[in-house]
Chains A and B, each alone.
Chain A
Amino acid sequence: QKEVEQDPGPLSVPEGAIVSLNCTYSNSAFQYFMWYRQYSRKGPELLMYTYSSGNKEDGRFTAQVDKSSKYISLFIRDSQPSDSATYLCAINGVDSSYKLIFGSGTRLLVRP
């Protein structure tokens, strides 16, 4: 079983739509959950960092963690063409390891 699973997409939405991106993970002991945005051939850019179940909001972005279901989500409100990128979930914090374990990424296209 893969440690982190993420639907690769692509996900195509019209400008202004609410986008929902999701990951599942296998080990309930993971403690920290991140979302990164990656433009083509660029480095991952940290969007959200959470460590507890519940919601965390930052501008148009909301990260949601459900530890009981081992499910994490990123919601983007009022999506813009500039949001078109690959979104990576990442987890860490098990067995004293802080290496990031990444999902495969979901490619998002926001159509004008």
Chain B
Amino acid sequence: EPEVTQTPSHQVTQMGQEVILRCVPISNHLYFYWYRQILGQKVEFLVSFYNNEISEKSEIFDDQFSVERPDGSNFTLKIRSTKLEDSAMYFCASSEAIAYEQYFGPGTRLTVT
């Protein structure tokens, strides 16, 4: 069964460093998303991406965040200068079309020290 994959599973970084989180969405899916979940809190939407453009973003997704689809399979989230409060689980999701089911990856646990 096709699934969303994410790497790395755990990333530790120092405050102020740049990190890139990687995702491989399900192959025939066209819509891609990033969500995050701070420990003990709700899953929160960050950004959605379609046709090589951001289609929607939340207030959390400020100038220190960016997304890219560098090739036909990967979808990345870059955090330019990490802060302590960026520590969270980051989930990638994909869907076949708009308003279709969103399938989530296993997540990347980001720890900023």
Contacts and interface: CB of A to CB of B under 8 A. Distances in A.
B48 A44 contact: no
Given A45-B104, A46-B104, A93-B99, A102 B43 contact: yes
Contacts of A17: none
Contacts, number: 56
A49 B45 contact: no
A105 B42 contact: yes
Contacts of B99: 31-32, 92-93, 98
B42 A102 contact: yes
Interface stretch (A34-42, A53-61, A76-84): A34-42
Range class of the B interface residue count = 20 to 34
Interface string B18-38: 000000000000010101000
Interface string B94-112: 0100110111111101000
A43 B107 CA distance: 6
Given A34-B102, A102-B44, 17 more contacts: A31-B99, A41-B89, A42-B107, A43-B6, A43-B106, A44-B91, A44-B104, A46-B101, A88-B43, A90-B43, A93-B99, A97-B56, A99-B33, A99-B56, A100-B43, A102-B42, A102-B43
